[in-house]
């Protein structure tokens, strides 16, 4: 009986591979396997040809020709290697494909894998170009490819006898089907080539081909891909981060459900779909539990992003009740990303990162990139007591042990040996409405901020009465202190020169703050934009009522200077006024000792006193040239009327009411008025002149300025003048 010849088949060893750069050669290797009777020697010739949508050509290979050769097997040998040397270059080009085909076998046959009369065969792969060949055993039925790209876009192409028959026409994600169209009449011995292209690192795909006419896989043809490594790095997966939208929020009452929403942001390459699972866990000193949520279980779910979407929303439904309880905390954590990564904000090998907040519970998470060093939190509670806690891997490491005010520092004790991948959680708790805080964390071992964990707080709203805020006595030091009055607190100042900043963002609610400071040179600052609903001036005391209902009382008021529109914490400055000037600014006067209080102008809006960087107007013509400019005109008040204070007739050309600003500076008090506020003063007149296309502001001759001062050329355009009245 004659001996059956062994069979040869070929597969790539290291293809696809990168081509390297100029003057470098990369070896692509292919393994030829011999199966069957190995008792005699065998051989076959092999040849390279370009393939795929971007075929390699002779210049891509050593010697400038498409390689050919012979693969030899000694008696007993089962494998042999073919090496194809590829030239490197520095050019930016597409990845290029080629095939290595066996032919002319000697002492062997070329292998095929028969799949019977009906094909249902699968393949899988990922990054790079993968080619599989099928030869048809007969000519009937449809050739169908069913693919799954697993969320990261890939491309599929089907060729019949070297001609493109059908394609996804670019990269696609998820699942789909390609069918060779009926214009291709399939017949026995036709060669169908399936080409899968994945250009994104981390990609994965699989497919199944189906053909009822019978198909054989060609084991004597295999594919290689020259991956161009001179392009920019492959597109990275997008990053996911999460932040609360409406948390903290009130829980509601019995039978009510309150949705807490969290926005998940996706950054980076948004061309494909992404998803991640999310889960809720209790956190903080009073953690929420399953009974706090709809259904009586801790919520979980999946957040999905369609291709192109940058944000998605997670909704956590919280049960209401009528019980009186502490505010409860919980975290929402992302995990198991698909087509994305979980975001971290790297802060390098040395951390110096800040955060700020106010009412409710705020949690920030940091994962340590290295070990050693001290983790320090420097906080500022701005006068209203708040609490700070630091946890290491879920264990409380250090705390303020209750609510504290002003500034301070917390350091993780040395009993906690910090190491890489430790998670440090900073929890800031503010139980007083109107509170504000900020902090800076410092760590020399390297830290990343975890953007895939965020916190929510279930604020208990079942108390029957609004509690009276506690009253504290806040004493200053012998140095120069800055205070932001808040709550029902009494501020006694100290021996230095102290500054008190009145802000509706800090001083709010049904509270009355009291300031008494008789030592040093002390200043009261009213930030710009705030509204003084009412003011009462006594001989040596004043009470200001803010539009939010809060009050501040200043005792020994004549001993303070007043800066209207200043805010030292933001670097805003203003001219200082005496107590009498301050009263006049608010439309009041200082009464005699023992006399009744004098009320100021209702709903007085503190103007901006920032004239820094403004263009001082004196006389002549000024042209507005920049995109946005502020023009400052000086005036003074005489006998209750506005009049000239050095600046004369000025023309502003090209003034834009959309971008430019015209303000008026009282040289006597340092108060800066907007146009509308200035026009409300006695002695000021405005008029538009349609004949010259100008708008003017001038002083009434009755104010004692002969001829007045006229500002012209204040316009939006040549066709439209500004209405100043």
Residue range 285-312: mean pLDDT, rounded: 83
- CA-CA-CA-CA dihedral for 176, 181, 187, 191, to nearest 10: -50
Q: What are phi and psi of 363, to 5 degrees?
A: -120, 135
Q: What pLDDT, in 10s, does the model give residues 361-382?
A: 777 777 776 666 778 888 988 7
Q: Give the model's pLDDT for residue 42.
A: 94
* Average pLDDT score over residue span 409-419: 87
SS (H, E, C) 173-241: CCEEEEECCCCCCCCCCCEEEEEEEECCCCCCEEEEEEECCCEEEECCEEEEEEECCCCCCCCCCCEEE
684-708 average pLDDT score: 59
CB 498 within 8 A of CB 483: yes
- Provide CB contacts within 8 A for 621, sequence distance 6+: 650, 651, 652, 653, 713
Number of neighbours of residue 563 by Cβ within 10 angstroms: 24
Cα distance between residue 607 and residue 71, in whole Å: 89
What pLDDT sits at residue 252? 44
Closest CA to 484 of 501, 504, 459: 501
Would you give the DSSP letter of residue 679?
A: H
Using the Cα atoms of residue 72, residue 78, residue 81 and residue 82 in order, give the sign of their dihedral: positive
Q: Please state the φ and ψ torsions of residue 134, each to the nearest 5 degrees.
A: -135, 130
CA distance 551 to 514: 9
Residue 280 φ then ψ, to 5°: -110, 140
Highest mean pLDDT range out of 102-106, 263-267, 449-453, 564-568?
Answer: 102-106
Q: Is the dihedral of CA 238, 241, 245, 246 positive or negative?
A: positive
Pairing verdict, β 42-51 and 96-106: antiparallel
pLDDT at 142 > cutoff 90: no
Mean pLDDT of 597-624: 72
Q: Which two tokens stand for residue 490?
A: 């009494």
d(CA 661, CA 629): 6
Distance CA 653, CA 686 (A): 17
Angle value at C-alpha 667, between 651 and 528, nearest 5 degrees: 95
CA dihedral 694, 698, 701, 705 (to 10 degrees): -120
Q: Which residue has the tokens 């028959």?
A: 165
Non-local CB neighbours of 668 within 8 Å, separated by 6+ positions: 581, 636, 637, 645
Q: What is the pLDDT of residue 724?
A: 37
Contact partners, residue 462, CB within 8 Å, separation at least 6: 251, 253, 321, 322, 323, 324, 325
Question: pLDDT tens across 77-98, in order?
Answer: 999 988 888 776 544 344 566 6
- The pLDDT value recorded for residue 534 is 94
Q: Which residue has the higher pLDDT, 608 or 611?
A: 608
Which run of H or of E encompasses 585? helix 579-585
Question: Is the pLDDT assigned to residue 571 strictly greater than 80?
Answer: no
Write out the two tokens for 693. Answer: 């296309």
The CA-to-CA distance between both ends of the chain, in Å, stands at: 116
Which among 514, 527, 517 is positioned nearest to 487, based on CA atoms?
514
Mean confidence (pLDDT) of the chain? 73
The mean pLDDT of 224-238, rounded to a whole number, is 51
Q: Are 584 and 646 in contact (CB under 8 A)?
A: no
Domains located in the chain, CATH noted: 7-110 (2.60.40.2030), 112-218 (2.60.120.260), 239-342 (2.60.40.2030), 344-450 (2.60.120.380), 473-605 (no CATH), 615-712 (no CATH)
- pLDDT surpassing 60 at residue 255: no
- Give the list of residues 6+ apart from residue 120 with CB closer than 8 angstroms, or none: 208, 209, 210
Give the phi and the psi of residue 559 in degrees, each rounded to 5: -90, 0
| E strand or H helix that includes residue 582 | helix 579-585
Instruction: Give me the phi and psi of 558, to 5 degrees please.
Output: -70, -15
Q: In the structure, what pLDDT confidence band is assigned to residue 126 with cuts at 50, 70 and 90?
A: confident
Q: What is the mean pLDDT of residues 530-559?
A: 92
Strands 620-623 and 650-653: parallel
| Residues 224 and 28 sit within 8 Å (Cβ to Cβ) | yes
The pLDDT of residue 260 is above 90: no
């Amino acid at each position: 009986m004659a001996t059956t010849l062994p069979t040869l088949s070929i597969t790539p060893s290291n293809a696809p591979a990168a081509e390297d750069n100029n003057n470098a050669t990369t070896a692509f290797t292919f393994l030829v396997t011999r199966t069957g009777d190995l008792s005699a020697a065998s051989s076959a010739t092999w040849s390279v040809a370009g393939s795929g949508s971007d075929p390699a050509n002779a210049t891509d290979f050593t010697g400038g020709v498409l390689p050919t050769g012979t693969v030899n097997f000694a008696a007993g040998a089962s494998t042999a290697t073919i090496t194809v040397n590829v030239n490197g270059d520095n050019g930016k080009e597409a990845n290029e494909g080629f095939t290595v085909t066996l032919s002319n076998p000697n002492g062997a046959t070329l292998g095929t894998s028969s799949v019977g009369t009906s094909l249902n065969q699968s393949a899988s792969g990922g990054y790079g170009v993968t080619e599989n060949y099928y030869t048809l055993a007969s000519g009937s039925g449809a050739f169908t490819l069913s693919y799954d790209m697993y969320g990261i876009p890939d491309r599929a192409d089907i060729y019949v006898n070297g001609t493109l028959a059908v394609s996804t026409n670019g990269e696609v994600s998820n699942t789909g089907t390609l069918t060779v169209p009926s214009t291709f009449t399939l017949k026995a011995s036709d060669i169908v080539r399936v080409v899968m292209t994945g250009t994104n690192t981390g990609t994965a795909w699989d497919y199944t081909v189906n053909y009822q006419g019978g198909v054989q896989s060609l084991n004597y043809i295999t594919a290689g891909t020259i991956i161009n490594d001179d392009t920019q790095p492959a597109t990275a997966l997008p990053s996911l981060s999460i932040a609360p939208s409406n948390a903290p929020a009130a829980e509601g009452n019995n039978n009510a459900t309150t949705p807490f929403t969290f926005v998940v942001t996706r950054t980076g390459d948004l061309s494909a779909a992404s998803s991640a699972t999310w889960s809720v866990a209790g956190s903080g000193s009073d953690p929420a539990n399953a009974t706090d949520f709809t259904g009586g279980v801790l919520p979980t779910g999946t957040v999905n992003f369609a291709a192109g979407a940058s944000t998605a929303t997670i909704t956590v439904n919280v049960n209401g009740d009528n019980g009186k309880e502490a505010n409860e905390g919980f975290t929402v954590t992302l995990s198991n990303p698909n087509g994305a990564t979980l975001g971290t904000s790297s802060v390098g090998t040395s951390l110096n990162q800040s955060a700020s907040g106010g009412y409710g519970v705020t949690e920030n998470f940091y994962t340590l990139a290295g070990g050693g060093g001290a983790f320090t939190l420097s906080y500022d509670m701005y006068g209203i007591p708040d609490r700070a806690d630091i946890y290491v891997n879920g264990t409380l490491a250090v705390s303020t042990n209750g609510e504290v005010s002003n500034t301070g520092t917390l350091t993780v004790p040395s009993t906690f040996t910090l190491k890489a991948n430790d998670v440090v959680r900073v929890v800031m708790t503010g139980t007083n409405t109107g509170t504000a805080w900020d902090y800076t964390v410092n760590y020399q071992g390297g830290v990343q901020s975890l953007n895939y964990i965020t916190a929510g707080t279930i604020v208990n709203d079942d108390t029957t009465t609004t509690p009276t805020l506690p009253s504290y006595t806040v004493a200053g030091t012998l140095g120069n202190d800055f205070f932001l009055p808040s709550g029902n607190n009494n501020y006694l100042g100290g021996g230095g020169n102290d500054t008190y900043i009145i802000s509706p963002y800090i001083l709010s609610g049904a509270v009355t703050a009291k300031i008494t400071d008789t030592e040093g040179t002390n200043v009261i600052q009213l930030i710009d934009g705030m509204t003084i609903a009412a003011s009462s001036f006594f001989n040596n005391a004043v009470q200001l009522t803010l539009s939010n209902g809060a009050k501040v009382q200043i005792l020994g008021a004549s001993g303070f200077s007043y800066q209207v529109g200043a805010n030292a914490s933001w670097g805003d400055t203003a001219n200082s006024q005496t107590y009498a000037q301050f009263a006049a600014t608010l439309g009041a006067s200082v009464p005699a000792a023992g006399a009744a209080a004098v009320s100021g102008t209702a709903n007085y809006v503190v103007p901006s006193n920032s004239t820094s960087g403004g263009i001082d107007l004196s006389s002549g013509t000024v042209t507005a040239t920049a995109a946005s400019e502020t023009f400052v005109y000086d005036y003074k008040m005489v006998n209750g009327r506005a009049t000239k204070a050095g600046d004369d007739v000025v023309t502003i050309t090209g003034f834009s009411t959309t971008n430019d600003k015209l303000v008026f500076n009282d040289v006597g008090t340092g108060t800066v008025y907007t146009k509308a506020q200035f026009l409300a003063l006695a002695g000021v007149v405005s008029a538009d002149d349609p004949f010259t296309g100008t708008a003017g502001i001038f002083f009434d001759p009755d104010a004692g300025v002969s001829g007045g001062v006229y500002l012209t050329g204040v316009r939006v355009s040549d066709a439209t003048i500004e209405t100043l009245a």
